[in-house]
Amino acid sequence: MTTFFQLVVVGISTGSVFAIVGMSLVLVYRATGIVNFAQGVFAVLGGLVTYSLSQHMSLVLAGLLAVLVTAIVATVVAVVAVGIRGRTTHLASLIITVGIAIFAEAVLLAAFGEVPRSYSAISDRAWNVGGVLVQPQYAALALVALLAAVGLTLFLRRTIVGQALVASADSPRAAELIGLNLRSIAVIAFALAGALTAIGGVLLAPTVPVSYSSGLTITINGFAAAVFGGLVSIRLALLGGYALGVVEQLVVGYIDPQYNLIIALAVMLVLIGWRSRGELAV
């Protein structure tokens, strides 16, 4: 039973990253209608920039700067992904972000090399809770995911900017009529989501080393979490991320480590298929 709880604890921590990426995808999708295929790249960028900067400064400062750098990169991604007004469809935007993800791999490979990078965790001690080891890094990840979920929900429901984000995706034409600039909306959403995902990446790298090519797997796991909530629910994306992480760890612990990605993806396929009963193509 201890093994089971240990796996669940680790699962919730890795699942938190999926949840963070999933909620970022939801935020961008709700504001722009675009599914950002390059979202996972932001997590990688956060981790790798932190690693490089931490050679010259304290880890905390390096992490903060990495989040800032990623947010700035995300604004550029936003402008490119939104494309040309009236010409770039949402499907075209998705393909553009696929291009950005490919291009980003080249840039990351050139800038940081191919070796997966990691650095020291918040603390190297671990709490012993009834035989289950809980590292502070795990707790931090789970906490950030939870705080992000609460923060994003309040932001989208209670603030003017948040409501503007939602409104502009619901009805772009009406949003423009009341004076919203769709490009600025997209930039805000991408930057916020980029910063959030970068925080996830910065916290992830000490437990799972990241390399230039990790982005794809992170994106697809995040998408699986987001699909759990139909790409629109922050709360369900959070739960989906946790659930996915736990399932993957249980597969690692009880079945075969080689199957964790396979099972996670299969779960996602089934989830999408199950969703398909509700939502029809437009």
Under the binding rule (CB under 8 A), the answer on residue 223 touching other proteins is yes
Under the binding rule (CB under 8 A), the answer on residue 79 touching other proteins is no
Under the binding rule (CB under 8 A), the answer on residue 280 touching other proteins is yes
In this structure, how many other beta carbons lie within 10 angstroms of the beta carbon of residue 43? 31
Q: How far is the CB of 3 from other proteins (least distance, A)?
A: 22
Q: How far is the CB of 233 from other proteins (least distance, A)?
A: 16
Among 1, 110, 160, 177, binds other proteins (CB under 8 A): 110
Tell which positions 2-31 bind other proteins, by CB under 8 A.
Answer: none
Q: How far is the CB of 236 from other proteins (least distance, A)?
A: 16
| DSSP output for 17-29 | HHHHHHHHHHHHH
Under the binding rule (CB under 8 A), the answer on residue 48 touching other proteins is no
Which residues, 6 or more positions from 233, have their beta carbon under 8 angstroms from its beta carbon? 26
83: nearest Cα among 72, 73, 94: 94
- Eight-class DSSP state of 159: S
Q: Which helix (H) or strand (E) holds 267?
A: helix 260-275
Q: Where are the beta strands (DSSP E) in 131-187?
A: 132-134
Q: Computed from CA positions of residues 215, 26, 146, 167, in that sequence, does the dihedral angle turn out positive or negative? A: positive
Q: Which residues of the shown chain bind other proteins in the complex (CB under 8 A)?
A: 35, 37, 80, 83-84, 87-92, 94-96, 98-107, 109-110, 113-114, 216-217, 220, 223-224, 227, 256, 258-259, 261-262, 265-266, 268-269, 272-273, 275-276, 279-282
